[in-house]
Amino acid sequence: MCGTSHVPREGLWMIKIKTFCLQQRLNFHRILLNIDARKDNSRQTIDINMFKSSINNKTGDVMSVALGKPIPYFEIPATSGLVFTPTACQGRKVVMYFYPKDSTPGCTVESMEFRDAIDDFTKANALIVGISRDNLKSHENFKRKIELPFELLADTEETLCQMFGVMKMKNMYGKQVRGIERSTFLIDEEGVLRHEWRGLKIPGHVQDVLKAAIDL
């Protein structure tokens, strides 16, 4: 004897709701993100027309990077009112330098050295971004004060710091404090991590990164 299954009214509503949510998520992921990183009066600019979201990590777990592997997807607010994502930079090499804090002596020197080498990095098809845990207001002030021609990412939630494994215990004035270990990462045009410098010393570092970017 053939029969028909009966789906409770509540079940139908749940199916409809789940279907709607799935459609909304898929539609959102069809949004295209387009970045035009170009040289303009010795500046590197990022023009973001739309944002693209990722569904790779719904659990909230932070994925980690590894040499020779693609960088996990992320979205981080940046200066100039932008949102930075790795997929937006495909076709360009990316230099991501992590520094402890805006407007401190060492971080100022390092950022200015990247600034002064901007033309050479641009010729090497490399985009530069600086990253710290400072908020956007602090970043904008820092960027304006020393006239940085590239964007700074505000990793206030330590998403990138955890992903790249740069948070360390450091000795400052005889006390152990948790902070960013000065580090730089070079990503190729396909979004694959190719070089990393951890616990680096500032003198000569920018030239080392530039040489690696040219040779990549």
Question: 89 catalytic, yes or no?
Answer: no
Q: Per the residue annotation, which of 2, 21, 89, 107 is the catalytic one? A: 107
3-state secondary structure the chain: CCCCCCCCHHHHHHHHHHHHHHHHHHHHHCCCCCECCEECCCCEECCECCCCCCCCCCCCCCCCCCCCCECCCCCEEEHHHEEECCHHHCCCEEEEEECCCCCCHHHHHHHHHHHHCHHHHHHCCEEEEEEECCCHHHHHHHHHHCCCCCEEEECCCCHHHHHCCCEEEEEECCEEEEEECCEEEEECCCCEEEEEEECCCCCCHHHHHHHHHHHC
Residues annotated catalytic, as ranges: 107
